């Protein structure tokens, strides 16, 4: 590990996740911020989906997606640490999703840290990054995603804001100059996706989104 990364406990209050930086400071998470500032179109699309299949089925699918996503994250973490993976501990789908990404994971030249807690005093936001290190020769923020379908660039805008935040916070906390982001996504059918992102294009947009968030929760 290149840096002595810190960790911060989290709490749930006001339907938001908060990272407790010290006894006087707690910042809302990047995922809470993005969730609270979703566009009306995105909110309506999600509501229409729930209504089309029913609340119970929607909850089941969401829980399954969360469970599979958590398992794939764990498998990647174990792989990057060189730990032995017992495939019997995971479902066939989870192993399939993980294995689909191994070709991309081997392009990580160096891992600085995994599950790294970060915060920005400037933005007053915090979060936990999947991985930070060198990808294809570039210092990068890396994020693992799972999806039930193949997604296009236009469908992952919020993921890019996440990456931009992690880079901004890491640069602020540790004096780095990371501006490259990577999203590795495993789809349900086993098709892997790689999105490489120039984060310089998202820092200003991120600030605008954070400003809107604080306007919303202050009302």
Higher pLDDT: 41 or 117? It is 117
Taking the model in full, what pTM does it have? 0.93
**What pLDDT is stored for residue 60 in this prediction?**
84
**What pLDDT is stored for residue 51 in this prediction?**
80
**What pLDDT is stored for residue 130 in this prediction?**
97
Is pLDDT above 60 for 63? yes
Is pLDDT above 70 for 189? yes
DSSP strands (E only) in the chain = 10-13, 16-22, 25-28, 108-120, 125-135, 138-147, 180-187, 192-198
Tell me the per-residue pLDDT of 172-187, one tens digit each, with 9 for 90 and over: 999 999 999 999 999 8
Could you tell me which residues are beta bridge partners of residue 22? 25
Higher pLDDT: 132 or 52? It is 132
**What pLDDT is stored for residue 46 in this prediction?**
76
* pLDDT band per the 50, 70, 90 thresholds, residue 73: very high
213: Cβ contacts below 8 Å, ≥ 6 apart: 28, 33, 36, 37
**What pLDDT is stored for residue 1 in this prediction?**
54
∠ CA(212), CA(182), CA(145), 5° rounding? 80
**How many other C-beta atoms are found inside a 10 Å radius of the C-beta of residue 115?**
12
Counting residues of the chain whose pLDDT is more than 70, the rounded percentage is 99
Tell me the per-residue pLDDT of 151-160, one tens digit each, with 9 for 90 and over: 998 899 999 9
Tell me the per-residue pLDDT of 74-85, one tens digit each, with 9 for 90 and over: 999 999 999 999
Higher pLDDT: 66 or 16? It is 16
Average pLDDT, whole number, for the chain?
93
CA dist 97 and 99 (Å) reads: 6
């Amino acid at each position: 590990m290149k840096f002595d990364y810190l960790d911060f406990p989290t709490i749930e209050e006001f339907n938001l996740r908060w990272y407790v930086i010290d006894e006087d400071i707690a910042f809302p998470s990047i995922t809470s911020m993005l969730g609270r500032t979703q566009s009306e179109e995105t909110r309506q699309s999600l509501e229409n989906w729930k209504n089309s299949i029913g609340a119970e089925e929607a909850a089941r699918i969401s829980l399954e997606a969360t469970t599979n996503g958590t398992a794939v994250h764990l498998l990647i973490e174990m792989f990057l640490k060189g730990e032995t993976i017992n495939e019997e501990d995971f479902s066939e789908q989870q192993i399939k999703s993980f294995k689909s990404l191994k070709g991309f994971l081997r392009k990580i030249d160096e891992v600085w840290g995994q599950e790294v807690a970060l915060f920005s005093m400037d933005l007053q936001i915090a979060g936990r990054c999947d991985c930070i290190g060198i990808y294809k020769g570039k210092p990068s923020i890396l994020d693992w995603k799972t999806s039930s379908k193949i997604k296009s660039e236009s469908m992952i805008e919020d993921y890019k804001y996440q990456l931009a935040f992690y880079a901004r916070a890491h640069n602020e906390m540790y004096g780095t100059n990371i501006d490259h982001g990577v999203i590795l996504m495993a789809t349900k059918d086993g098709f892997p996706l790689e999105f490489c992102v120039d984060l310089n294009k998202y820092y200003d947009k991120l600030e605008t989104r954070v400003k809107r968030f604080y306007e919303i929760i202050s009302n």
